[in-house]
Amino acid sequence: MKKLLCGIIAGVCAVSAFSVAAENEIKLPTPNLKNSVTLKTALEKRKTSRTFSNKALSELDLSNLLWAAYGQNRPNGKRTVPVARGIYAIEMYVALSDGVYKHELGDNVLKKVTAQDMRAESDSRKMGAKAPVVLVMVADKDAFDGKGSHYIAMEAGAIMQNIYLYCAGYNLNTVVCGSFKPQVWAKALKLPANKYVILTQVVGCPR
């Protein structure tokens, strides 16, 4: 009887753990970039914009944006940015109104890491507060045995430009930001000592 009761309790716990995990996940659709503008047009239109409407991006927009930023573009797993020594040192997080999510590239799933609305922490002017999405690039100090901060900065720069070009091509506004407080993000995202936020980038529809 005791065994049966334990089994039932374990079963209930397993089910509730699963549903909590599922509740805190957003399964993104497969990226599908349609009606692409030419590279020439995207380059001509690339610019920083600091005003945003609060209109939400669709899950497909978000999936496309993350793919353009740092997604896999070849069967060998390599991505839309070049990286030193083939080492990918950055992870993408997405700050939405209901919390911050880590992007799991393999499954194209967003997993919630905090329910805090962190969008206003995008930068010193709090530009993200009025936008639907703040992309957050989290870097791994140890990726090149602690000797690759220049490589990591270049990788972040490539991601930043991909986001700029995607936004230029799909009529979205964006601003990349370096003026955030790294400790505030590290605490909210519960980052281990070797991880830090290297850039944030606010994205939204024009106002």
Ligand X SMILES: Cc1cc2nc3c(=O)[nH]c(=O)nc-3n(C[C@H](O)[C@H](O)[C@H](O)COP(=O)(O)O)c2cc1C
Shortest Cβ distance from residue 45 to ligand X (Å)?
11
CA separation for the pair 187, 207 (Å, rounded):
32
Q: Are 185 and 134 in contact (CB under 8 A)?
A: no
Query: Any idea of the CA torsion for 74, 93, 132, 50, to the nearest 10 degrees?
Result: -90
When the beta carbons of 37 and 109 are compared against ligand X, the nearer one is: 37
**With binding defined as CB under 6 A, does residue 150 bind ligand X?**
no
**With binding defined as CB under 6 A, does residue 178 bind ligand X?**
yes
CA separation for the pair 95, 128 (Å, rounded):
9
When the beta carbons of 82 and 178 are compared against ligand X, the nearer one is: 178
When the beta carbons of 82 and 192 are compared against ligand X, the nearer one is: 82
Residue 195's φ and ψ, nearest 5 degrees, are -110, 145
Footprint of ligand X on 158-177 (CB under 6 A): 175-177
Burial of 205 (0-12, 13-18, 19+ CB in 10 A): middle
**With binding defined as CB under 6 A, does residue 206 bind ligand X?**
no
Question: How many other CB atoms sit within 10 Å of the CB of residue 195?
Answer: 19
When the beta carbons of 113 and 154 are compared against ligand X, the nearer one is: 154
**With binding defined as CB under 6 A, does residue 123 bind ligand X?**
yes
Shortest Cβ distance from residue 66 to ligand X (Å)?
20
**Helix and strand tally (H, E) in the chain?**
5, 7
CA separation for the pair 46, 38 (Å, rounded):
12
Footprint of ligand X on 35-64 (CB under 6 A): 47-48, 50
**With binding defined as CB under 6 A, does residue 29 bind ligand X?**
no
Compute how many residues bind ligand X; rule: CB under 6 A.
9
When the beta carbons of 118 and 176 are compared against ligand X, the nearer one is: 176
**Which residues would be at the binding site for ligand X (CB under 6 A)?**
47-48, 50, 123, 175-179
